[in-house]
Copies of this chain bind each other. A is one copy, B any other.
């Protein structure tokens, strides 16, 4: 199984595969590294990478390594998550941060993961895990569980089908999680306790698009706090709910 790569992939798909070998941990890569990570023959990558470089999609550092070019950046800014969601949500997130002083984040569903669209936090806060652009597991984060709970059944089934473990409190039992999702949907918020990383709790609520609570959940808003904090993270629930309600309206206005 596992995508026998190479053949049977269009040029476009291969080119994208090349671009996808880049991530936060691999911002600069040698030609050979790209070839390895993309499962493509070296010569093929060589050709593709040159083509991409010629078109400013990749840039080449002085040491010969490749990196994502500025054209990719410019194009990426036009994505809806950025231009529509992030742009509108940021001021609201700042309001929440003022009150909580814990990391505030907003996320959407992306495939079977949860894509962090924006995150604000004090300089010292928590893991590097959830930078904007990170893709976290749906079942082990507050925002993720909200997105699952309010998402389509197909999504739930697919995710429930393979629940990776990250800590010893990660919920990996499908039945248990499924019932938790029902509770979340009923109560309108989700909590996690050290399910992704030790020492971190989180709480999250849904953001609704056009049609308000009758419509669809388009994103989730949540905060992450150290689990040894004497203040209970639940105290922030009302703030999150009020903010989510205001933000939802705003998002609906701007066409979401």
Contacts and interface: CB of A to CB of B under 8 A. Distances in A.
Q: Give the interface residue-count category, chain A.
A: 35 or more
Given A68-B76, A72-B72, A51 B10 contact: yes
Nearest to A58: B79
A20 B55 CA distance: 11
Interface stretch (A21-29, A93-101, A169-177, A181-189): A21-29
Interface stretch (A34-42, A80-88, A143-151, A200-208): A80-88
A75 B19 contact: yes
A82 B73 contact: yes
A2 interface: no
Interface in A143-175: none
A73 B74 contact: no
Interface in A1-53: 10-13, 15-16, 19-20, 22-24, 27, 48, 51-52
Contact of A24 (B78, B80, B108): B78
A72 B70 contact: no
A73 B70 contact: no
Number of copies: 2
A144 to B, nearest CB: 15
A136 to B, nearest CB: 13
Nearest to A80: B67
Contacts of A16: 52, 55, 57, 71
Contacts of A132: 77
Contacts of A133: 73-74, 77-78
Contacts of A74: 76, 115, 133, 135
Nearest to A108: B70
Contacts of A55: 12-13, 16
A59 interface: yes
A70 B11 contact: no
Given A27-B83, A55-B16, A78 B22 contact: yes
Interface of A: 10-13, 15-16, 19-20, 22-24, 27, 48, 51-52, 54-57, 59, 67-83, 108, 110-111, 115, 132-133, 135
5 contacts: A12-B51, A19-B75, A27-B80, A70-B80, A73-B81
Given A16-B57, A73-B82, A74-B76, 15 more contacts: A11-B12, A12-B48, A16-B52, A16-B71, A24-B78, A27-B78, A27-B83, A67-B78, A67-B80, A68-B80, A70-B79, A70-B80, A70-B115, A73-B77, A77-B132
